[in-house]
Amino acid sequence: MAFIRADGIAIQDTQGTPLNYMDVNQGSGVVFNEGSNDFDFRIESNGEANGFFFEGSSGNIYVGTNSGSIGNSYPGVKLFGTDDGTNKSGINIVTAGGNNPLALNRSAGDGTMIGFRSAGTEEGTISISGTTTAYNTFTGTHWSRLADNSKPTILRGTVMESLNEMVDWYNLRMPDGDLIPHVLTDSQSNGDEITYNHNGTDVTATIVKEDDIKHVQTKISTTDEAKNVYGVFHAWDIEAYNDMMIAAVGTYVIRIHKDETVAKGNLLQSNGDGTAKVLAGSTSITADVLSTVFAKVLSNTKIETYADGSFIVPCAFTNC
């Protein structure tokens, strides 16, 4: 039922307690659901029931789909409105078949395609120049984890070695196809069905192992002149998993032993204690020696000196 008020029009449900659907007034314009009720808002297009769908229970927005339809075989866009441990804030684009999920096009001229900002400051970009794509301020990292799944304090730039064991990740597959990160208990394994409270409702979820073929476990380097240097410690990632990010491509800072003096162009090896040392100038460069070199010093500027006297300097990775 619609009511004409002094300041505009209100559309309300008068069955029982009045529920306000929409206000139209001069002061605040058009407002839907002023009373914060659990209302869905849907716009239908010619041939698509969910051209635009706003889910009142979650605050999520769907374009071309809804919460019950989106999945690997159903295209649509989902903008997450919640971040409650089950939904991840951000945008999730699902396409049908082999269609490209996202295309970015500069209509004329080279330049930045994507800008990355933190607290309003641009920290990096992806840009194009002719047929070349540049990843600017680039440091390539990959995930890893310690063998005991612990999370000790590791200094930035610490030299890490790879292990033979792989890192395993698991998810819970919800009845609607959504995947939620999951940490296995001692009694659980891949394929198990468990009861999980999803958005306030108990559902039967299936544990599924991710098909990862490249991420191995790591440790702080304990081998002098190690041939299996994985990279250097960058930061911890997802706390629930105790995953870390290992920098191994591009440029980054590397932790140097306190007794070392570095200069531009020096080649670096593991010192066997989490720090790096300079390859001796008298060393004959053989294939065996080159397998121990993982970086080159770009500057002798000490970015930071740690309590044990070790320090970090800018470097470029070579063969990690």
User: Can you tell me the distance from the alpha carbon of 8 to that of 28, in angstroms, rounded to the nearest whole number?
Assistant: 10
Q: What is the spatial distance between Cα 314 and Cα 303, in angstroms, rounded to a whole number?
A: 8
The confidence score (pLDDT) of residue 85 equals 47
CA 116 from chain centre, in angstroms, equals 13
Q: Which of 239, 232, 236, 234 is nearest to 276 (CA)?
A: 232
- In this prediction, residue 56 carries a pLDDT of 81
CA distances from 236 to 19, 141, 180, 213, 240 (A): 47, 12, 20, 21, 11
For residue 103, what pLDDT is reported? 84
pLDDT at 173: 92
Q: Which amino acid is at 251?
A: T
pLDDT of residue 315: 97
Alpha-carbon separation of residue 144 from 1, 64, 155, 171, 319 (angstroms): 59, 37, 16, 17, 18
Find all residues with CB under 8 Å of 115, minimum gap 6, and list them.
122, 124, 125
Where in the chain do CATH 2.40.300.10 domains reside? 140-147+153-164+216-317
Residue 253, strand partner residues: 314
The model carries a pTM of 0.72
Q: Which residues pair with 94 in a beta bridge?
A: 76
Q: Which amino acid is present at 232?
A: V
Q: How far apart are CA 131 and CA 51, in angstroms?
A: 36
CB of 228 closer than 8 Å to CB of 128: no
Q: How far apart are the C-alpha atoms of 152 and 208, rounded to whole Å?
A: 28
Tokens (6 digits) for 173 = 């597959």
Cα distances (angstroms) measured from residue 128 to each of 104, 134, 251: 11, 6, 20
**pLDDT at residue 227 in the model:** 95
Query: Terminal CA-to-CA distance of the chain, rounded, Å?
Result: 69
Residue 271 dihedral angles phi and psi, to the nearest 5° = -95, -5
Where helices occur in 129-260 by DSSP H, the ranges are none
Number of residues that this document lists for the chain: 320
Q: Which CATH number does the domain 140-147+153-164+216-317 belong to among 2.40.300.10, 3.90.1150.10, 3.60.20.10, 3.40.50.11540?
A: 2.40.300.10
- Secondary structure in 3-state letters for 15-49: CCCCEEEEEEECCCEEEECCCCCCCCEEEEECCEE
**Dist. CA 51–CA 130, nearest whole Å:** 37
Q: Give the C-alpha separation, 148 to 3, whole Å.
A: 65
Residue 296, strand partner residues: 267, 316
Burial class (CB in 10 A: 0-12, 13-18, 19+), 85: exposed
Over its length of 320 residues, how does the chain's per-residue pLDDT go in tens digits? 555 554 555 555 656 566 677 777 766 778 877 778 788 888 888 878 888 888 887 777 877 777 766 554 555 666 665 544 444 556 666 666 677 778 888 888 899 999 999 888 998 999 999 999 999 888 999 999 999 989 999 999 999 999 999 999 999 998 878 888 888 888 999 999 999 988 788 999 999 999 999 999 999 999 999 999 999 999 998 767 899 999 999 999 999 999 999 999 999 999 999 999 999 877 778 888 889 999 999 999 999 999 999 999 999 999 64
